[in-house]
Structure 1
Amino acid sequence: MKRITLIISLLLCSLVYTQAKEKVIEQPPFTVWSSDNIEIDKIVLSDTATVLYIKAFYRPKYWIKIASGSFLKSNKGETYTLRSGIGITPDKEFWMPESGEASFQLVFPPLPNDVTSIDFSEGNVPGSYQIFGIQLKGKKLPSLLLPKEAIIHKVDKNTSLPTPEIINGTATLKGKLIDYHPEMMTEFKVNLSEAMKGFSEGIPVKINTDGSFTVETPVMGTTPASIRLLGQSIKFFLAPGQTSEVIINLRELCHRQSRLHKNEKSSGEIVYINGPLAGIAQELNSNTLLNILSDTEKMMQEVGDMDSNAFKAYIMSKHSEAQSRIDQLPYSSATKQVLNIENDINATQALVMTASFLTQAKLQKKEITREQGQEYFSKLQKELSPDYFDTIKEFGSINTPQALLSEKYTYTIYLLTRMKDKLAKIFGTDKGTFFDAASAASIYQSIHDFTPLDEQQKAILATLPAVYQSVIEAENAELLKKIEANKKKTGFKINEAGEVSNEDLFASIIAKFRGKVVLVDFWATWCGPCRTANKAILPMKEELKEQDIVYVYLTGETSPLKIWENMIPDIHGEHFRVTDAQWKYLMSEFKISGVPTYIIVDRSGNISYKTTGFPGADTMKTELLKALDKK
């Protein structure tokens, strides 16, 4: 009996000793991360392992993945490679549940007792998860070192929003990312909102190892700009001949995104801005969400049973509610004016898109099918009364120079250009900022669609502000040079589809390339994503140029012939422009819902891969190599 008691006592002592060796750190503080998709809920330290309890947050029924090469790096510089996952298999897709939240554990080797902080990293993989400065010895983070330039500019509450000049010049942007780690990213893009030029592809900005950056760019007057980092849009203004300085507090940005740490003490502002309209930009970055179109899912639920008139009343009510909230904000008159303009912009866009929103609401409620969607949309459009859009007259701010200071104005110009004549009747004039910008944008876009200025456009251009004229004339001169240069280019070939039945069309197109792998790109000259993808794929095409791969580009008659001929010399490959009937047949036969769509055909003539939307050069390369039987 004494022997049994002794054994039990020893076992209990052993258990107590083991528990004493185990340390649990609940929701350890961290400095910065690369993504808010995963957070560390707790860390369990023991003599045998270091276990990170992870909470994942992502879109329901989509997957995330943890790389098997993930590791911890201690403040001593030592690394500890991932041993295993519990509830997740490294390198395997982890599918999120309906809730969009999940939990799993990552097991690493034990850490020495003198380690005070660690970094978690997936290593050098695209879109990798990184969490830096995870504290193991307390809840206090290292002091945040802000430069002396990180100041908040106050705005006189009674200052009105200035009228921006439309002038050409070069703006300079400089700044720094505080708490930056080179593993997070090596560059970001600055997006400009220039109404005439349309949507910005973004200006790439290289980040120095200390987090600093600088870039110069031409602008047409004081221009809204933004940097999107870690899911947050940082707003500021650029102006000709001036320097804008943007100091971004990554620590605060990350903590405000965190679900586990967002209620902790603030470490300052997300951003500190110096330069043109700095105080207004500072207030805009502090602004709570006032966009009546921000929660479209909720809006779809609320408008699902409405007709067009009820929808208009709903939008006008939302506009009034947002107006009241803006009036109560503790901001300057100038900042409130920007927000009021954006409120008018949002309401205008919603009214113009009435049929789209009501159709989407029916689709979301599953009261109509996708096949019925286009017919339902057309029916709604026809039912709109002749005076339906007259309400837009209340939103006259969209035709003022100050509207150019809203980052949303570019989309307004894009959306409303086709309604220019109708808006002239509504506003009682065809003069003003909107009409000038819309006319210039239409001409500018046609040049970017490889169509040089014609006489009618030249006549319209002569009536527009001098800056619009000079920028468009310079773009037109460059296009004319490019068209002449393209006449001498090789590497592309125009093919005829031939007199074949619709059923035999695709087989006939790829037949001459049998024995090779064929990448078929269904595209259009007017498709921005198609053209962006064509540029993004160039390095891959160069890398695989010695392989048996043929690039076939298929388009239809919606791509105007002259534009198509001017554009394709820069797209090396085999080109086909089929008839409307042939295009519609191919869309139906291959169940193609939009462009770009890609089909890979293997050496035997079988389809090995199909996707709508550019999947990225890496994915495309992987699928091509699979079709080539390369590992």
Structure 2
Amino acid sequence: MRHTLISIACMLLCLCAPLKAKEKVIDRPPFCVRNTTSIEVSKVVLSDTATVLHIYAKYHPKFWIKIASSSYLKDNNGETYPLRSGIGITPDREFWMPESGEAEFQLVFPPLLANATSVNFSEGSEVEQGFSIWGIQLKSKKLPELELPEGATVHPVDKNLELPQPVSQYGTATVKGKLLDYHPGMTKKIRFILLDPIKSYTEFEANVGEDGSFSTTLPVCGTTPAICASFGSPIYFYAEPGKTSELFINQRELSRLQSKFHQNAKPYGPRVYINGPLQEIAQELSTHSFHTNLTETAMEKEDLASFKTAVLETFAQKEKQLEALPICRATRELLHFELDFNCYNALMQAPSMLTQQYVEKNKLDREAGYKYFEKLMQSKPADYAPTNLLKSLNNARLTQAPSYCLGIIYASAIKDLLAKEWGTDKGVFFDTGRAAKLYRSINEFVPLTAEQTAALDSLPAAYKQLLTEANNHLLQTIEANKKKTGFNINEVGEVSNEDLFASIISKFRGKPLLVDFWATWCGPCRMANKAMKPMKEQLKDKDIVYLYITGETSPLETWKNMIPDIHGEHIRLTNEQWAYLNEHFQIKGVPTYFIIDREGNIKFKQTGFPGVDKMKEELLKVTD
């Protein structure tokens, strides 16, 4: 019997050996591009019976991700292989991330054909913002050579290149380019942010064609820094009236830099190839990731003096690192401005940052947080943030620094002090500050007065033209708003604070309700309102009421002129009423959303826009 068992065991080993030999493991396969930083392939196991992708996932702790059952692989020959199953994850079900924010699971597909050399992973075109990874290599540790289009070159840089004077002219700039390694199913839009010192951060988009190309135009007031913000790490370039900025974006290199397994591998070339205004400077800004955050160690401190010491120590270290960078004189000058301004800003924000840290650490309520903040402010010396860090703000050449637009905002409160220290109230800082203030008024739906219009003559011609055009457009919008429908202003009436919210929503009892606590000055609120427009149209047959509540911090005329484009029910509360609701419902900021069922029960609450998909999902739960 013993000999028989031994013989059977030997036979099983012999049978398993050839099966084992046919299993091939590709550890950390290189890939071309992915549209997500949430998942990455750590290993591919090939056999005669299955293809298994080992997935490493990294996402917000205690949040979920989901893999669609429609997921598939597509090999280099065009053959597709549908998802069979998951190991450690169930397709179409929420996979909750652990406290670490990292997890692993496996996706099982049919066996690949023998001549497959690479595969693409996709959740399918029907999945909105679905995960995709293109060009996963199966038989090589190298990616196929990237074919560069004509014009995609790295420009030689003269290390003595001086920062030029910016163009001051109002006109139209063109931004165009191409996403390299583009595949069908990739993003259809690319997002840019114009770092305009008058308009501050202005977002715009360009449509991406089937070949990965994009092109758009935008009005600018002169040489203006901008970033492409669609790929995690910013890509810098400059826009200039009458000129074209051309960007060839190296997606495989951007994906490599964000990869857990390949970020230390040899680069696949520069992140971007740039042609156009200040191309050499833009190239260096996009190549050298010089981080000017100075609060890494300072946030460990608990008092203002220690915080400042830590910031200044980091500042000195960063200055040495900056001097060691292999960059031209012009780029170095811009980065010195960035470093100076970020030092000033860190010190100005110290009480707020330390308060937030103290509140979170000790789990304090808002009132206790205010008291702690006031205590810090009272102990803050007048010269805590040295104004000499702002000395370059009146240098016209430094308007080309990416953070200059923020410098205008933060330093405007002390413009009189700076004028006294500098011995003048003339120059680009003061002109730009006046123009920025007027533009903010226009952007808040408040037209310029006759006096303000007359004062435009004292500004540079480019600024005057921009403001005049913006004001005329606002006046036309206000006239058009008088004819718009789809919005309704509600009066609260005489009601106690305790009964306020119940009274407000009682009018809509029996209908699903989305309550949006917002403010006219809140950029994220306004962007969310715009993003939800298509959703509201899709759900128009669901009898949902959209209720927008704001307070007196939203100026009355601004509010009246803004809401015609926000269809729904609108209420503007007094400061006292707004404060009560904030305290009662523990509203931490705007936007905050409530979703209320037909019986008046709050079924969902979130501060910060959760995204259109999540909002739609939660609304549908109360419409059935």
TM-score range, shorter chain: over 0.9
Which amino acid letter does the alignment assign opposite residue 300 of structure 1? M
Partner of 1:161: 163
Task: Tell me, in whole angstroms, the C-alpha distance in 1 between the residues paired with 2:355 and 2:188.
Answer: 42
> Counterpart in 2 of 1:599?
594
Structure 1 residue 129 displacement after superposition: 1.7
Distance 1:64 1:628, change over 3 A: closer
1:306 is displaced (CA, Å) by 3.0
Shift of 1:87: 1.9
Confirm or deny that 1:233 pairs with 2:234.
Answer: yes
Residue 302 of structure 2: aligned partner: 305
Give the percent of matched residue pairs that are identical in Structure 1 and Structure 2.
54
Could you tell me how far apart the structure 1 residues matched to 2:363 and 2:398 are?
39
Q: Is the aligned partner of 1:570 residue 2:569?
A: no
Aligned residues: 622
TM-score normalised to structure 1 length: 0.94
How many angstroms apart in 1 are the aligned matches of 2:161 and 2:102?
46
Residue number in structure 1 paired with 2:496: 501
Q: Which of 328, 331, 353 is 1:332 aligned to?
A: 328
Structure-2 change in CA distance of 1:236 and 1:556 (3 Å)? same
**Counterpart of 1:440?**
435
Q: Which moved more, 1:323-332 or 1:55-64?
A: 55-64
Q: Which among 549, 554, 557 is matched to residue 554 of structure 1?
A: 549
Per-residue deviation, residues 193-248 of structure 1 (Å, max 9, x unmatched)? 10101121x22111111111212211111111111233121111111111111111
1:130 aligns with 132
Q: Distance in 2 between matches of 1:551 and 1:411?
A: 34
Q: Give 1:127 deviation, angstroms.
A: 2.9
The Cα shift of 1:506 comes to 1.6
Cα deviation 1:32-82 (Å, max 9, x = unaligned): 111232221211111221111122223333333222221111122122122
- The aligned counterpart of 1:80 is 81
Residues 1:379 and 2:372 are matched in the alignment: no
1:314 and 2:316 correspond: no
Contact 2:59 2:101 in 1 (8 A): yes
Deviation, 1:354, is 2.3
Q: 253-262 or 276-285: which moved more?
A: 253-262
Q: Distance in 1 between matches of 2:538 and 2:440?
A: 32
Question: 1:460 Cα shift?
Answer: 4.5
Partner SS for 2:201: coil
How far, CA to CA, are the matches of 2:566 and 2:55 in structure 1? Answer: 45
Q: Using the alignment, how far apart are the partners of 2:46 and 2:383 within structure 1?
A: 69
Q: CA RMSD in A?
A: 2.1
1:567-589 deviations in Å (ceiling 9; x for gaps): 22222222222222211121122
* Alignment partners' CA distance in 2, 1:30 and 1:567: 47
CA distance in structure 2 between the partners assigned to 1:8 and 1:311 by the alignment: 69
Letter in 2 for 1:593: K
| CA pair 386-232 structure 1, distance change in 2 beyond 3 A | closer
* Map 1:30-429 → 2, pairs under 5 A: 30-124=31-125, 125-200=127-202, 202-293=203-294, 296=295, 298-301=297-300, 304-307=301-304, 309-363=305-359, 365-366=361-362, 370-389=366-385, 391-429=386-424
Question: Counterpart of 1:581?
Answer: 576
Task: Find the aligned partners of 2:563 and 2:343 in 1 and give their Cα distance.
Answer: 40
Counterparts of 1:526-545 in structure 2, within 5 Å, are: 526-545=521-540
* Equivalent-residue separation in structure 2 for 1:398 and 1:171 (angstroms): 25
SS in 1 for 2:563: helix
How far apart in 2 are the matches of 1:534 and 1:385? 41
The change in CA–CA distance for 1:581 and 1:305 in structure 2 (over 3 A counts) is closer
- SS of 1:398's partner is helix
- Displacement, 1:4? 4.2
Whether the 8 Å contact between 1:168 and 1:219 is mirrored in structure 2 is yes
Which amino acid is 1:235 matched to?
A: Y
- Superposed CA deviations along residues 565-617 of structure 1, whole A, max 9, x for unmatched, are 22222222222222222111211222211112222222222222222222223
The answer to whether the 8 A contact 1:344-1:398 is kept is: no
- Cα 1:575/1:361, change in 2 over 3 Å: closer
Contact 2:343 2:389 survives alignment (8 Å): no
Q: Which amino acid aligns with 2:17?
A: V
TM-score (norm 2): 0.95
Go from structure 1 to structure 2 and tell me whether the alpha carbon gap of 1:262 and 1:595 turns closer, same or farther (over 3 Å shift): closer
Contact 2:408–2:433 (8 Å) recurs in 1: yes
Post-superposition offset of 1:459: 5.3
Offset of 1:273 from its aligned partner?
1.0
2:466 partner SS: helix
Q: Aligned partner of 2:83: which letter? A: L
Instruction: Go from structure 1 to structure 2 and tell me whether the alpha carbon gap of 1:405 and 1:459 turns closer, same or farther (over 3 Å shift).
Output: same
Distance in 2, matches of 1:560 and 1:218, equals 28
- Are residues 41 and 623 of structure 1, via their aligned partners in 2, closer, same or farther at CA, if it must alter by over 3 Å? closer
- Give the conservation status (yes or no) of the 8 Å contact 2:344–2:389: no
Q: Is the alpha carbon distance of 1:326 and 1:274 closer, same or farther for their aligned partners in structure 2, counting shifts above 3 Å?
A: same
Unaligned 5+ segments in structure 2 are none
8 Å CA contact 2:297–2:310 kept in 1: the answer is no
In structure 2, the residue matched to 1:489 is 484
Q: Aligned residue for 1:29?
A: 30
| Deviation of the 1:387 alpha carbon | 3.3
> Amino acid of the residue matched to residue 489 of structure 1?
K
Q: Is it true that 1:626 corresponds to 2:615 in the alignment?
A: no
**Cα shift at 1:456:** 4.8
- Given the superposition, is the C-alpha separation of residues 216 and 246 from structure 1 closer, same or farther in structure 2, using an over 3 Å criterion? same
Is the 8 Å Cα contact of residues 179 and 249 (structure 1) preserved in structure 2?
yes
Q: Distance in 2 between matches of 1:423 and 1:310?
A: 27
| CA distance in 1 between partners of 2:109 and 2:297 (Å) | 42
Contact residue 24 and residue 44 of structure 1 kept, 8 A? yes
- The residue aligned with 1:478 is 473
Supply the AA of the counterpart residue of 1:131: I
Aligned partners of 2:111, 2:514: CA distance in 1, in Å?
A: 49
Give the deviation of 1:369 after TM superposition: 5.4
